[in-house]
Amino acid sequence: MTVVQAERIPRIISMTNQVGGSGKSTSAVNLGAQLAEFGYKTLVVDADDQCDASVALGYMFPDQIEGQKNIYDCLTDKNVKLADAIVPALCGPLGGKGTRVIDNLFLVLGSGEMENAEQHLTLATNREMWLRKLLKPIKGDYDVIIIDCPGNLGLVVIGAILASDEVIACIKPGLKELRGLTRIEQKIEIVKDEYEEFGAHAELAGVLLVDVPTHRSQGAVWDDGKNLAVNTYGDLVLPPVRRSTKIPESYAHQKALLYFDRAGDATADYLAIAKRMGFKRLSARG
Ligand SMILES: Nc1ncnc2c1ncn2[C@@H]1O[C@H](COP(=O)(O)OP(=O)(O)OP(=O)(O)O)[C@@H](O)[C@H]1O
Ligand SMILES: [Mg+2]
């Protein structure tokens, strides 16, 4: 049996913003879960030392699992392949009662040691190529790869942009946050200019507003942030993710929204985002 595939295989998408707490990990995990549910074989790469994507997908201590490699091992030891750090994504905590594997969703385990990644990469040759090189042998195994970046624009993130087809900038709505996007745009251009000969071609493919207040009582930025973003970025602005207490709650339960609050607003928002990005439910072909 074959399955209808994504148009370009794989689509490699980086979730970025140099600002911390802008919804990158939440979006990587919940978009990933939605795409997996659509039937795309999806890999989430946890490139942030805070390991939030790993936690949300069941692995509270991703760098303390006996005999299990993680992304930092891959970065620092050339004998460790990315495949060695890939595990099935979980719904619920690893080892927890009722925890189960999420079909089609996989994770490159993160590591707290990624806080040393910049230092390590500074001394490495072809340092900007680190993730592109690691992904090369396995990328054909996936339909979609989503990279959860740390909240900066350092070498780890440059490596992620260089490995990507698409960059999504995640932001909480506001003038200051929108102004910060120009730095991401500049970085994408620099990576493309300097590494074109190595295949760098990522584009800013989406501006994703998260934690958007749903009524005035939640703050004056109601709708204003979205209007400002649309005026500046037009069609690049993806459907926003509404503010929802289910998001921090689902993280605390280590469950993707789809499995924690299936009928919820934020769950519906990630579905709308997936569709706007051109993904659709895949049908099995006999
Ligand atoms: N739509 C939302 N509604 C309510 N809370 C949200 C929403 N989106 C994100 N959050 C909360 O905002 C915080 C930051 O989100 P998240 O961890 O996804 O951001 P991040 O960009 O990955 O941060 P960091 O740069 O620290 O890695 C989290 O506590 C998350 O639960
Ligand atoms: Mg994060």
Which residues' Cβ are closer than 6 Å to ligand 1? 17, 20-26, 48, 50, 52, 151, 170, 210-211, 241, 243-244, 247-248, 251, 266
pLDDT, residue 220, reads: 55
Per the structure, the count of domains in the chain is 1
Average pLDDT estimate for 32-47:
98
- pLDDT tens, residue by residue, 97-122: 999 999 999 999 999 999 999 999 99
Closest C-alpha residue for ligand 1 atom 6:
211
Closest C-alpha residue for ligand 1 atom 15:
23
Ligand 1, atom nearest to 247 Cα: 31
Assess if residue 110 is contained within a domain: yes
Query: Distance from the CA of 190 to the center of ligand 1, in angstroms?
Result: 27
Query: Distance from the CA of 47 to the center of ligand 2, in angstroms?
Result: 9
Assess if residue 134 is contained within a domain: yes
Assess if residue 282 is contained within a domain: no
- pLDDT tens, residue by residue, 257-282: 999 999 999 999 999 999 999 999 99
pTM score? 0.95
- 286 or 205: which carries more pLDDT confidence? 205
> CATH no. for residue 138?
3.40.50.300
Assess if residue 280 is contained within a domain: no
- pLDDT tens, residue by residue, 3-30: 444 444 799 999 999 999 999 999 999 9
Assess if residue 286 is contained within a domain: no
Closest C-alpha residue for ligand 1 atom 20:
21
Assess if residue 39 is contained within a domain: yes
Give residue 53's domain range.
7-275
Lowest mean pLDDT among 19-33, 172-186, 220-234: 220-234
Longest dimension (CA), the chain: 55
